[in-house]
Amino acid sequence: MAASTAAPLPQYEAVIGLEIHAQLQTASKIFCGCSTAFGAPPNSHVCPVCLGFPGALPVLNGAAVDFAICAGLALGCRINESSVFARKNYFYPDLPKGYQISQYELPIAVDGAVEFTMPSDSAQGRHVRVGITRAHMEEDAGKSLHEGFTDSDRKTYVDYNRSGVPLIEIVTEPDLRSAADAAEFFTRLRALLVWLGVNDGNMEEGSLRCDANVSIRLRGNPTLGTKAEVKNLNSFRFLQKAIEYEIERQTDLLEEGGRVVQETRLWDAAAGVTVSMRSKEEAHDYRYFPEPDLPRVHADPARVDRIRVAMPELPPVRRQRFVADYRLPDYDATQLTESRAMSEYFEAAVHAGAPAKAVSNWMMGDLARVLKERRLDIACSPVPAARLAGLLSLIERGTISGAIAKTVFETMVATGRTADDIVKAEGLTQIDDESAIVGLIQGVLDANADAVAAYRGGKTTTFGFLVGQVMKQAAGKANPKRVNELLKRALDS
């Protein structure tokens, strides 16, 4: 390969469309009562329906439909009042029926869009709009196990636990123009689905997978170039790297006078390249036809409204409300609405009486650090929102100083006790009393005659040193503002 530039040559433009498979968070499978729990022993969550036994009848799981409608609404889609399941025929060991039940001509959700601003692209941030062509429901296939058995060199095993797990496939318009935009879009989409509770966002377990369709064309050319599809990218980094690689590969091909062939490719993470899996000529004819064993899916307006009303406030709306209601900087509001759990923690702390900006600072500072160290989600924070509020109220009321609050917080993390408790038990209440502080100051002035003389001789930088000495005598508990005032008065008198 010639040049190794991540961006296409300036005369070329990359065109990218994504297809995302997201597992819907139902307890049971889409057409039977088997569990969807991850990690069970192979073939322990199976029955005649999801093993594809002849004559076993599928029954649609209504909860999966509700999740699909919820996702569709959040993606700005129109929900089809009536949608249809079809049989997509192909033969593969992990597909026991010889066909996959999937929505085809009439999917449940169509014509949506996701909009966002690219971070730190420029001071303004570039606006990106990605059309959502469709979102349709389908069942997952089983999983072929090529490794891990003594006879894996000769045999492939199949685990059907995943067969029949409900999925939604989200198909975008070819609106993306760079690997970075595609990765950002996928990040936002994941956050949205997790926020809604539609998907758990776990890419390692395969609950969220992405296929990237990539083509190149001369800038200004209105027609699309021939695309290659890179299958099953299961991390943001792989998605970005695979697209970058494809853009480079296709650009080089065109530059050398060749042409891109339409094909399916796989990302080889170890080698950092995409490799051809099958060309479109070998592609399947899926011979779709309506699934005769399932009635049409009904998403009548009442059902859609019920789901709409029950939906949580969405991230961009919540972000704006945080700015408006709590006077937070946009930066803070953006950080706090990265996840629903985080935004809920914030509001719970504020409702418990803590000042909004202080909650935000602590969440982005000490709390974020502790959660990261302990690899904990904020929902499992060792310091729940109401307790953080308790700590912040003590600072607000002047009971403890900001410096003491930091150590109290560490004790809260370590012991699970309340701030009140710790402050009382350890006598950490701030010394505000004038005579007590003056007494400490006098002691420090007596013990540091040289520094005092230097200060009085014009070397005012020793002031900070003397403040430090007083705070040390007070074990950090003196109100620093009072110490400053009273020390200045004592020195200048």
Name 341's Cβ contacts closer than 8 Å, sequence gap at least 6. Answer: 377, 378, 379
What percent of the residues of the chain are helix, what percent strand, and what percent coil, each to the nearest 5? 40, 20, 40
285 or 446: CB nearest ligand ADP: 285
Region of 117 (left: φ > 0; alpha: ψ -120 to 50; beta: rest) is beta
Q: Total number of residues binding ligand ADP (CB under 6 A)?
A: 15
Pick from 29, 136, 227, 340: which binds ligand ADP (CB under 6 A)?
227
18 or 441: CB nearest ligand ADP: 18
Q: Which amino acid is at 265?
A: R
Pick from 8, 164, 225, 390: which binds ligand ADP (CB under 6 A)?
225
Which x/- pattern, by CB under 6 A, does the window 188-217 give for ligand ADP? Answer: -------------------------xxx--
18 or 30: CB nearest ligand ADP: 18
Decide which of Zn ion, ligand ADP, none touches 19; Cβ closer than 5 to 8 Å per partner kind.
ligand ADP
51 or 106: CB nearest Zn ion: 51
Q: For the chain, give me the number of helices (H) and strands (E)? A: 16, 16
Binding of Zn ion by 165 (CB under 5 A): no
**Total number of residues shown for the chain:** 493
Q: Which residue number has the CB closest to ligand ADP?
A: 17
Which x/- pattern, by CB under 5 A, does the window 33-72 give for Zn ion? Answer: -x------------x-xx----------------------
Binding of Zn ion by 32 (CB under 5 A): yes
Q: Which parts of 17-76 interact with ligand ADP (CB under 6 A)?
A: 17-19
130 or 445: CB nearest ligand ADP: 130
Give me the least distance between CB of 298 and Zn ion, in Å please: 23
First to last CA, the chain: 79
Residue 313 has a CB neighbour count (10 Å cut-off) of 13
Find out whether 158 and 93 touch, Cβ atoms under 8 Å.
yes
**Pairwise CA distance, residues 290 & 296, whole Å:** 10
Tokens representing 25 are 């968070």
Q: How does DSSP assign 141-188, residue by residue?
A: --EEE-SSSTTTTT--EEE-TTTT-EEEEEEE-S-B-SHHHHHHHHHH
130 or 470: CB nearest ligand ADP: 130
3-state secondary structure of 7: coil
Binding of ligand ADP by 107 (CB under 6 A): no
Q: Total number of residues binding Zn ion (CB under 5 A)?
A: 5
**Pairwise CA distance, residues 475 & 426, whole Å:** 12
29 or 482: CB nearest Zn ion: 29
Which x/- pattern, by CB under 6 A, does the window 154-173 give for ligand ADP? Answer: -----------------xxx
Q: Which parts of 275-334 interact with ligand ADP (CB under 6 A)?
A: none
Sign of CA dihedral 14, 116, 375, 211: negative
Q: Which amino acid is at 380?
A: C
Binding of ligand ADP by 111 (CB under 6 A): no
Q: Which parts of 9-28 interact with ligand ADP (CB under 6 A)?
A: 15-19
Name 179's Cβ contacts closer than 8 Å, sequence gap at least 6. Answer: 6, 14, 16, 239, 240, 241, 243, 244, 247
17 or 142: CB nearest ligand ADP: 17
Binding site for Zn ion (CB under 5 A): 32, 34, 47, 49-50
- Binding residues for ligand ADP (CB under 6 A): 15-19, 171-174, 213-215, 224-225, 227
